[in-house]
């Protein structure tokens, strides 16, 4: 017999209107049963004076990565990364992010650890690896002539993804799909932290990208394109990718193409700022890499403003792993600083992100029938400032996994009952995290 959870007295954010109105939310199992005034339930999660928003969706993370210092990575036992991933997933969920798209690094075992409840974390979509040519973003060849595979090592369950030519592309795409990829990721330009690639240069020929897209269509999966430079962005959009990741050097033609093709932009504004904030020494950046980071920031901001003004659809992604895990909601403040309204910034992490992932019928709204993923924020104003400090609760699949206010956990409705049963396993008084499933 289910015990319905009542989230009482909050102001529920409506992404359609961009406003919030006072309403209760009733959760039965993993689903939202009802939203409206004067509802009741068996247990209560008090939300008076708080904004109730859908669980946030981060469309670009790397849960297996939290260091880009190659020397440190080479001195770290490989298996330790999986324990770091468990910590990173926990931090992400407790930050209010209930769904992520991992853009390379996490394999099927990491995803299964979450879905089985072995590890606490958000629901996951995984790319497993990033397709790149020799000399491209996933090629870790160094000026010394060494190739250390510190950031993107291959291992059982995670195929090597440096490919050249249509046949190599086809084989590796099929290996990724066999390994459990939910989405395919391709680097159509160089990158910022890769040692010898150029973020402004386009990589892969039309024949290679065409094979990728044909295999993706056959498998009914979408393609996300790491793309900084203008030419590489345009090549990816022409080919029909679902989203451009980063999109640093957009121009008016590229933006117009994205609008015409319905291509999404996932900006990841947090990543270059995190590298500069941590400092080149801490991140292990060379002078050449740091120069690329500095060049990126101003151009990136301008491109987001240009894309938003033109009507390009934007979804939130943080590049967490480059940016710190658990600070994901900072991205919404950065989007707002580039001209998105608070409501649009919230949409980027809820309804828009859900649409990008093809999951709008499941997540992204606080509405009957949707999955019960909720975040409670202090204050009832629709605003994105200081979100981490305002976080007061996280509900994932109907379970309260975090209370950030130190207040009363969900309790039995009616007169107060100070018993373990009344407190409920989902909402322990000491804020210990219960099973996610």
Q: What is the CATH number of the domain that holds 49?
A: 2.30.40.10
Least confident window among 128-142, 264-278, 411-425: 411-425
Indicate the pTM of the whole model. 0.90
The CA-to-CA distance between both ends of the chain, in Å, stands at 16
Rounded mean pLDDT, 170-198: 93
The distance between the two most distant Cα atoms of the chain, rounded to a whole number of Å, is 72
CA–CA distance, 137 with 195 (Å, rounded to integer): 8
> Do residues 288 and 154 both lie within one domain?
yes
Can you name the residues that pair with 245 across neighbouring β-strands? 226, 266
Q: Are residues 158 and 10 in the same domain?
A: no
The pLDDT value given to residue 300: 95
Co-location of 139 and 250 in the same domain: yes
In 3D space, the residue among 160, 171, 169 whose CA is nearest the CA of residue 188 turns out to be 169
- Mark residue 284 as left, alpha or beta (left: phi above 0; alpha: psi -120 to 50; beta: remaining): left
The predicted-structure confidence for 326-371, as pLDDT tens digits, reads as follows 999 999 999 999 999 999 999 999 999 999 999 999 999 999 999 9
Pairing assessment for the beta strands 183-187 and 399-403 based on DSSP bridges? unpaired
199 within a domain of the structure (yes/no): yes
Q: What is the mean pLDDT of residues 300-324?
A: 97
Q: Are residues 82 and 21 in the same domain?
A: no
d(CA 215, CA 174): 8
**Cα distance between residue 272 and residue 217, in whole Å:** 32
HSE toward the beta carbon, residue 307, CA cutoff 13 A: 30
pLDDT digits (tens, 9 = 90+) for 127-158: 999 999 999 898 887 777 777 777 888 999 99
Residues 268 and 368 in one domain: no
Q: pLDDT per residue over 56-68, tens digit each?
A: 999 999 999 988 8
* 141 and 279 assigned to the same domain: yes
CA dist., res. 32 & res. 369, Å (int):
5
Band of pLDDT at residue 289, cut at 50, 70 and 90: confident
Within this chain, do residues 220 and 310 fall inside the same structural domain, yes or no?
yes
Residues 75 and 91 in one domain: yes
Q: What is the pLDDT of residues 5-24, one digit of tens each?
A: 999 999 999 999 999 999 99
CATH assignment of the domain containing 77: 3.20.20.140
88: how many CB neighbours lie within 10 A of its CB?
25
- pLDDT level of residue 34 (50, 70, 90 thresholds): very high
Q: Identify the burial level of 143 via C-beta atoms within 10 angstroms of its C-beta, where 0-12 means exposed, 13-18 middle and 19 or more buried.
A: exposed
Count up the domains in the chain and report the number: 2
Q: What is the pLDDT of residue 415?
A: 34
Residue 437 belongs to some domain of the structure: no
Whether 132 and 229 map to the same domain: the answer is yes
pLDDT of amino acid 1: 52
In degrees, rounded to 5, the angle at the alpha carbon of residue 194 between the alpha carbons of residues 190 and 195 is 115
Distance CA 295, CA 290 (A): 9
Say yes or no: 341 and 394 in one domain.
no
Band of residue 433 on the pLDDT scale cut at 50, 70, 90:
very low
**Range(s) of the domain holding residue 41:** 5-55+364-423
- From the list 320, 90, 131, the residue with the least C-alpha distance to 224 is 131
pLDDT (tens digit per residue) in 387-412: 999 999 999 999 999 997 654 444 44
Q: Over 164-177, what HEC string results?
A: CCHHHHHHHHHHHH
Higher pLDDT, 331 or 288: 331
Q: Establish if 435 belongs to a structural domain.
A: no
**C-alpha of 62 from chain center:** 8
Position 421 pLDDT exceeds 90: no
- Asked if residue 172 lies in contact with residue 120, where contact means CB atoms within 8 angstroms, the answer is no
Least trusted range by pLDDT, from 1-15, 195-209, 241-255, 275-289: 275-289
Q: List pLDDT tens digits, range 186-227.
A: 999 998 887 778 889 999 999 999 999 999 999 999 999 999
Identify the pLDDT of residue 48.
97
């Amino acid at each position: 017999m289910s015990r319905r959870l009542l989230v009482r007295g909050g102001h529920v954010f409506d992404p359609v209107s961009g406003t919030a109105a006072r309403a209760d939310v009733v959760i039965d199992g993993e689903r939202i049963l009802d939203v409206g005034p004067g509802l009741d339930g068996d247990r209560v999660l008090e939300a008076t004076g708080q904004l109730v928003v859908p669980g946030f969706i981060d469309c670009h993370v790397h849960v297996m990565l939290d260091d880009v210092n190659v020397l440190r990575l080479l001195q770290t036992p490989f298996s330790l990364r999986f324990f770091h991933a468990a910590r990173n997933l926990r931090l992400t969920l407790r930050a209010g992010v209930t769904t992520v798209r991992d853009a390379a690094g996490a394999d099927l075992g990491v995803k299964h650890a979450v879905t089985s409840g072995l590890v606490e974390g958000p629901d996951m979509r995984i790319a497993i690896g990033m397709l790149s040519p020799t000399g491209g973003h996933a090629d870790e060849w160094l000026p010394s002539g060494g190739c250390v595979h510190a950031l993107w090592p291959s291992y059982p369950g995670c195929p090597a993804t440096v490919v050249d030519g249509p046949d190599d592309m086809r084989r590796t795409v099929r290996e990724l799909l066999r390994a459990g990829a939910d989405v395919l990721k391709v680097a159509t330009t160089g990158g910022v932290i890769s040692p010898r690639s150029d973020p402004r240069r386009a990589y892969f020929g039309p024949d290679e990208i065409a094979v990728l897209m044909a295999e993706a269509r056959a498998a009914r999966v979408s393609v996300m394109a790491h793309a900084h430079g203008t030419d590489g962005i345009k090549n990816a959009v022409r080919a029909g990718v679902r989203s451009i990741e980063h999109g640093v050097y957009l121009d008016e033609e590229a933006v117009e193409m994205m609008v015409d093709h319905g291509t999404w932009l996932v900006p990841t504004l947090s990543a270059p700022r995190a590298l500069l904030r941590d400092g080149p020494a801490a991140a292990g950046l060379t002078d050449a890499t740091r120069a690329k980071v500095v060049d990126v920031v101003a151009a990136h901001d301008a491109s987001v403003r240009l894309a938003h003004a033109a009507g390009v659809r934007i979804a939130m992604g943080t590049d967490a792993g480059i940016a710190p895990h658990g600070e994901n909601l900072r991205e919404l403040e950065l989007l707002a600083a580039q001209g998105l309204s608070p409501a649009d910034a919230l949409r980027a992490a809820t309804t828009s992100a859900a649409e990008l992932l093809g999951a709008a019928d499941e997540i992204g709204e606080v509405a009957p029938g949707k999955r019960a993923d909720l975040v409670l924020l202090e204050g009832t104003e629709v605003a994105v400032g200081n979100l981490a400090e305002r976080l007061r609760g996280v509900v994932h699949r109907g379970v309260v996994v975090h209370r950030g206010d130190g207040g009363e956990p969900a309790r039995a409705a009616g007169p107060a009952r100070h018993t373990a049963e009344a407190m409920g396993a989902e909402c322990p008084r000491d804020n210990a995290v219960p099973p996610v499933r």
